[in-house]
């Protein structure tokens, strides 16, 4: 080999090594974001195939919009946010492995966007991994309560708040005898365990408590038994989706004049409204978190309409809460420092105070502290709304709204 040829070979090798080093420094985006210039990875546990898939999809709409906005505005400390996703199918037994996969892929923080039961199941894992997990739409109080709640947070008003609001509403409209129909999911079993005693403590008698499997195609027997119990109102407590539509279609047929109240899901899953028979949702009251008097909700609705076009059916609580979750995590990372560890992000999140929300009544805010891992600041994150004759969400329910302090 000539000296000239050898020199050329050495030059090629040196260039290749330099290029390899450059590529290695750029990374694959699956790290914790600790090195300068790398993406900040947000891991999301979602449900694309189970009982909370409709809820998860709505929240993802808001989450995706927020990430797009933040990245277009320069990211967080000059670094882009990167969303990585894993589906647990709303199967709590699968969620720990799904979360660990996100952590191994470099997630700096976790958004829980599946069922409440899933979020509860991973609390010990989150504690072991020392990584913040924020539940965007889950309402199970236990997620944010001891034990193993050091890194677990929820954004929305918990089930205890919803129970308190509905108990006051029942007193206002004179409901003494209440019938309940629910699904057989672990999430609803847990939520009902916290909800129904609040009603009973307020003097409401549960005169019927019926359950149906998530894959039911006929709920007439359950609703016929409810009709025979002669309740003052029917409370529908479910994950939503096709089963809740079936509940309402059948109830409308069997007892069309009986007042109906939905926990929350039905009013926040636009894709299900078209499945209801004409007038089947008329006068249905549900716990929303969207009010026409909140200018931030109006602004977010306009953004989503511009992005989704004809696919936009209206702003839901789940989309707004997903959107705000990302912006709260942005604040937390900025407070902790862009080079902070996943554990240090918790300290940043616990410093967030009185941040205006895109949901709830005008002026409603969100805060976290070391002893408050529920983001909602008071009951005015809950807005009771009513469906119209056209099976569309209408105005705020005139009969009762929680008092805002």
pLDDT tops 60 at residue 36: no
pLDDT for the residue numbered 37: 57
d(CA 303, CA 308): 9
Pairing of strands 393-396, 383-387: antiparallel
Q: What is the dihedral of CA 50, 54, 57, 61, to 10 degrees?
A: -170
pLDDT at 87: 98
326-340 pLDDT tens trace: 999 999 999 999 999
Q: How many CB atoms are located within 10 Å of the residue 278 CB? A: 10
- Residue 374's pLDDT band, with cuts at 50, 70 and 90, is very high
User: What is the phi/psi pair of residue 108, to 5°?
Assistant: -90, -35
Q: How confident is the model at residue 404 (pLDDT cuts 50, 70, 90)?
A: confident
* 289 Cβ contact list (under 8 Å, min separation 6): 156, 157, 317, 320, 321, 359, 360, 381, 382, 383
Is pLDDT at 16 greater than 70 in this prediction? no
Q: How far apart are CA 262 and CA 243, in angstroms?
A: 13
Q: Model's pTM, two decimal places?
A: 0.89
Helix (H, G, I), strand (E, B) or coil at 110: strand
C-alpha closest to that of 105 among 134, 77, 124, 129: 129
Say yes or no to pLDDT of 265 above 80: yes
* Other Cβ atoms within 10 Å of 150 Cβ, number: 15
- Report helix, strand or coil for 364: coil
* Dihedral of alpha carbons 305, 309, 314, 320, sign: negative
- Note the pLDDT tens digit of each residue in 122-175: 999 999 999 999 999 999 999 999 999 999 999 999 999 999 999 999 999 999
> CA-CA distance, 200 to 210, in Å (whole number)?
17
E strands present in 4-157: 40-46, 81-87, 109-113, 133-135, 152-154
Q: How high is the pLDDT of residue 27? A: 32
pLDDT recorded at residue 110: 98
* Rounded Cα–Cα distance for residues 355 and 377 (Å): 10
Rounded Cα–Cα distance for residues 53 and 9 (Å) = 57
Mean pLDDT over each residue of the chain, to the nearest integer: 92
CA distance 266 to 346: 33
Angstrom distance (rounded) from CA 345 to CA 328: 11
Q: What's the rounded Cα separation, in Å, for the pair 3 and 211?
A: 85
Domains contained in the chain, CATH given: 40-157+296-374 (3.40.50.2300), 160-288+383-396 (3.40.50.2300)
Tokens of residue 97, six digits: 């492995």
pLDDT tens string 185-218:
999 999 999 999 999 999 999 999 999 999 999 9
> Has residue 403 got a pLDDT over 80?
yes
> Quick one: pLDDT at residue 262?
97
Q: Which pLDDT score is estimated for 405? A: 66
Please give the pLDDT value at position 15: 39
């Amino acid at each position: 080999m000539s000296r000239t040829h050898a020199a050329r070979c050495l030059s090629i090798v040196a260039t290749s090594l330099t290029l390899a080093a450059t590529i290695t420094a750029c990374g694959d985006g699956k790290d914790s974001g600790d090195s300068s210039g790398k993406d900040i990875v947000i891991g999301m546990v979602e449900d694309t195939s189970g009982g909370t898939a409709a809820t998860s999809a709505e929240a993802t709409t808001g989450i995706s919009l927020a990430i797009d906005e933040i990245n277009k505005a320069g990211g967080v400390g000059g670094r882009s946010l990167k969303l990585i996703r894993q589906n647990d199918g709303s199967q709590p037994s699968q969620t720990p492995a799904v979360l660990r996969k996100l952590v191994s892929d470099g997630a700096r923080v976790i958004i829980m966007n599946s069922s409440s039961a899933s979020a509860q199941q991973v609390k010990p894992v989150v504690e072991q991994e020392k990584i913040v997990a924020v539940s965007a739409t889950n309402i199970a109080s236990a997620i944010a309560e001891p034990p193993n709640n050091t890194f677990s947070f929820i954004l929305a008003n918990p089930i205890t708040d919803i129970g308190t609001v509905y108990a006051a509403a029942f007193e206002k409209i004179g409901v003494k005898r209440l019938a309940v129909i629910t699904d057989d999911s672990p999430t609803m079993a847990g939520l009902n365990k916290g909800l129904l005693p609040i009603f009973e403590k307020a003097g409401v008698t549960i005169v019927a408590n019926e359950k149906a499997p998530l894959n039911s195609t006929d709920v007439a027997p359950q609703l016929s038994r409810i009709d025979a119990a002669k309740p003052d109102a029917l409370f529908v407590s479910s994950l939503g989706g096709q089963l809740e539509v079936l509940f309402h279609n059948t109830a409308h047929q069997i007892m069309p004049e009986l007042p109906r109240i939905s926990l929350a899901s039905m009013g926040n899953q636009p894709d299900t409204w078209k499945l209801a028979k004409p007038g089947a949702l008329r006068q249905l009251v549900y716990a929303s978190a969207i009010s026409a008097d909140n200018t931030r909700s109006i602004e977010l609705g306009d953004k989503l309409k511009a992005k989704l076009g004809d696919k936009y059916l209206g702003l839901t609580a789940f989309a707004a809460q997903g959107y705000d979750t990302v912006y709260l995590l942005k604040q937390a990372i900025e407070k902790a420092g862009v080079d902070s560890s996943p554990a240090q992000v918790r300290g940043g999140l616990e410093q967030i105070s009185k941040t205006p929300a895109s949901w709830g009544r005008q002026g409603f805010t969100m805060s976290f502290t070391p002893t408050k891992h529920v983001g909602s600041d008071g009951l005015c994150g809950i807005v009771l709304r009513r469906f119209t004759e056209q099976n569309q969400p209408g105005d705020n329910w005139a009969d009762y709204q929680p008092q805002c302090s």
